[in-house]
A and B are shown apart, each in its own frame.
Chain A
Amino acid sequence: MDQIILQFLNGLDKGSAYALIALGLTLIFGTLGVVNFAHGALFMIGAFCAVTVQRILTLSTVVEDPTKTDFLGNPAKISTPYVESWFGPEMGAALIDWSVPLAIVFAIPIMVALGFIMERGLIKHFYKRPHADQILVTFGLAIVLQEVIKAFYGANPIPTGAPEVFRGSFDFGVLIGFDPNAIIYPYWRMVYFAFAAVIIGAVFAFLQFTTFGMVVRAGMADRETVGLLGINIDRRFTIMFGIAAAVAGLAGVMYAPINSPNYHMGMDFLVLSFVVVVVGGMGSLPGAVLAGFLLGILEAFASMNEVKAIFPGIDQIIIYVVAIIIILTRPRGLMGRKGVMEE
């Protein structure tokens, strides 16, 4: 029982990441009708926003310390981050410690701007092109983006820690009557789950309760009619692209402490998030979120030893097995609409 609760928690957390990425993908697909293979790259760039903020905060003055030597026998260099010399050691250290949450503030404008540039500069020329062309050009863009990141940051993962207060884990088990250590869960992952819930909630609320959101929803349902009403749907869709990019970017920023960011993390998530979107049903936002959590939880359960003992290797393929079963039994995924992407 404790194992099941534990894996359920893990699943929620995996699911949060899947759901956030899938949500952004679906926003873009639902509004613009574009299959964006560069979405994983946006997630990755978000994570590197966190890395960059950490780097900026740790930019240092370098002085030579004659009492120590470095590996070549030259005087060692002592570096002091500027923030520590500006704001005092304590405040400076705190800023560095909180660099990931701080990065959110920086990531939003960067990601929105990146989204605008992508949409205006590239994607809009592909609205009328076949989906295969869209996939290919965005895939090319994804490669270019990740290679640019690689050129600047290298291929090695870059450790990006969560603030000190969120390190370590919380013992859930004790809370609900299990033995100590039976159900432990890291604080930062709880933060991530809560963060994902807030973002998802905010996106839905935005679409549900604002005029802007209403127009966009109407546009998702029937683009031409809304266009006929004299509403400039294109500009709104551009903004939606920016929002989707920001959602992916924020998912990446907050993910950085969970796994050290590396340049190909976007590609690692890309296929999975597409499976999530399709299982959820193309163009359905609730479907994407539901499928994200569903697949995350199933993936967590499949990695249990008890399950693997019965089906060896099931954790390698569970996502795909589930995807195949769902697509075959529900022709348009969990909540997909008819006629979307079936041609």
Chain B
Amino acid sequence: MSNSNFTRRGVLKTGSIAGAGLALPTYLSAAAHSGFTNAPTGDTVTLGFNVPQSGPYADEGADELRAFELAVEHLNGQGDGGMMSTFSSKVLDGTGIMGKKVDFVTGDTQTKSDAARASAKSMIEKDGAIMISGGSSSGVAVAVQGLCQEAGVIFMAGLTHSNDTTGKDKKANGFRHFFNAYMSAAALAPVLEQLYGTDRRAYHLTADYTWGWTQEESIAAATEALGWDTVEKVRTPLAATDFSSYIAPVLNSGADVLVLNHYGGNMVNSLTNAVQFGLREKQANGKNFEIVVPLYSELMAKGAGRNIAGIVGSQNWDWKLENEKGDRYAGTNAFVKSFGEKYGFPPSQAAQTCYAQTLLYADAVTRAGSFNPCAVVEALEGFEFDGLGNGPTLYRAGDHQCFKDVVVVRGKENPENEFDLVEIVEVTPTEQVTYPVDHPMFSGGALGSCNPGA
């Protein structure tokens, strides 16, 4: 671990100017650089990885950070190259990005919009980061995306699932690889129909904030399209830790499915409470009572322990994908191998999305031949690629959202080990989860034009 690959971009930049002597006043804004914010001038380029390091999502953030470090290693030609070898675009050659060695800085979002923006700002202003990535909440993603748009750097979103990130809050400088609530709903609907039929009555418990609302809206719309009734939509406070008073009335409400639009600690607690109340063993309307958690991560499954068994949800990616569903999902095993060998356990979907985003950025820069955000945006818009573990994928130009297959999973009844908590039920193909750019759930915003800063 003593390989210090750390040379600040400033060293050479300064060195070259130091000869000129003293005071060389310039406005940071204008053309002193190549016309865009933080243009790398030395032989390194700095990326900013802004992940939750404290607070409830710290473990997820740690996994994202591992993926980022791995991606940087691979870009710089160390390690086994991971998904670079399976990636359909072949311009990355392990010499950094366009010959510049990749450096990175890290920061803590604390899963708070304010703190995340402050952290991203310091990366941009102090460390000269030219791209910001990471995060594990939609509020943070939207806030940081807005900042990057204003500052003129690229934002490659990490884990953010709200429709708004590429919907009403989309930005020209921001890109999302992760899927969203609409896609979750569209992917889940056929599976739910197949598993639970078309005559169901759903009761929604929804975390009372932006992401919860968009997911509730998406799932309710998708299940109602199947013919399900929505009995009730109940909002629960974000700060709630004990959901008993929300869970208790469910069974007597006439519902036979409980949809938990909760994430993180909220989901772990509400699911635990629901199982405690014995909902899964009950009968309602002559059917088995079921619980659905539209989005959950490996870490949440771990937190919920055996309560997750049999619970259906959706994921952006799963580490078993290539083994079970064939080489349409090539790249998965390569990534799992290099991640697993370095850290000793398989990567989470958050790690995969962060790794892919870093590679996609590096690739776009290389293809564009410039670090200029506008060139990068152009290179990413409408980019079709494969081999990053999700199958053929499109970065749609209209909203900077990736379109790819969505994995529907179910908690395993008897997990063999602590990494093997979910099983893949189905992979819903891209076509079924694609929606028009102007879909009502995504309307209300505009990409605007790319901002190179300067």
Task: Give A residues with C-beta under 8 Å from B.
Answer: 2-3, 6-7, 9-11, 13-14, 17, 68, 70-72, 76-77, 150, 154-161, 167-169, 179, 181-186, 188-189, 257-260, 262, 264-265, 268-269, 299-300, 303-305, 308, 313, 315-316
Contact = CB atoms under 8 A, between A and B. Distances in A.
Contacts of A262: 56, 265, 303
Contact of A268 (B57, B241, B245, B302): B241
A71 B319 contact: yes
B268 A260 contact: yes
Given A14-B244, A156-B302, A181-B284, A315 B272 contact: no
B245 A11 contact: yes
B245 A7 contact: yes
A133 to B, nearest CB: 25
A71 B336 contact: yes
Contacts of B251: 181, 184
Contacts of A269: 241
A157 B303 contact: yes
B195 interface: no
Given A154-B59, A262-B56, A316-B237, A299 B245 contact: yes
A106 to B, nearest CB: 21
A159 B272 contact: yes
Contact of B245 (A14, A157, A158): A14
Contacts of A72: 336-337, 340-341
A159 B306 contact: yes
Interface in B201-242: 208, 232, 234-237, 239, 241-242
Contacts of B56: 155, 262, 264
23 contacts: A14-B242, A71-B336, A71-B340, A155-B54, A155-B55, A156-B299, A156-B303, A157-B303, A159-B306, A167-B276, A167-B278, A168-B278, A181-B251, A184-B277, A184-B278, A186-B244, A189-B244, A260-B268, A262-B265, A303-B246, A305-B232, A315-B237, A316-B208
Contact of B417 (A70, A154, A157): A70
Interface of B: 54-59, 208, 232, 234-237, 239, 241-242, 244-246, 248-249, 251-252, 265, 268-269, 272-273, 276-278, 281-282, 284, 299, 302-307, 319-320, 336-337, 340-341, 346, 416-417, 419-420
Contacts of A268: 239, 241
Contacts of A308: 234-235
A157 B346 CA distance: 19
B248 A7 contact: yes
B268 A300 contact: no
B241 A10 contact: no
Contacts of A257: 276
Contacts of B236: 303, 315
A315 B245 CA distance: 10
B418 to A, nearest CB: 10
Contacts of B58: 150, 154-155
B245 A303 contact: yes
Most buried by B among A7, A70, A150, A303: A303
Nearest to A168: B278
Contacts of A315: 236-237
Contacts of A168: 276, 278, 281
Given A189-B276, A303-B246, A308-B234, 9 more contacts: A3-B249, A11-B245, A71-B320, A72-B336, A182-B252, A184-B248, A259-B273, A264-B56, A316-B237
A167 B279 CA distance: 11
Contacts of B276: 167-169, 186, 188-189, 257-258
Nearest to A182: B252
Nearest to A173: B252
Contact of B303 (A17, A158, A189): A158
A13 B244 contact: yes
A158 to B, nearest CB: 7
A185 B276 CA distance: 9
A150 B272 CA distance: 21
Contacts of B252: 2-3, 6, 179, 181-183
A259 B248 contact: no
A9 B420 CA distance: 37
Contacts of B336: 71-72
B322 to A, nearest CB: 11
Contacts of A181: 251-252, 282, 284
Contact of A159 (B54, B277, B282, B303): B303
A260 B55 contact: no
B115 to A, nearest CB: 15
A1 to B, nearest CB: 12
Contacts of B232: 305
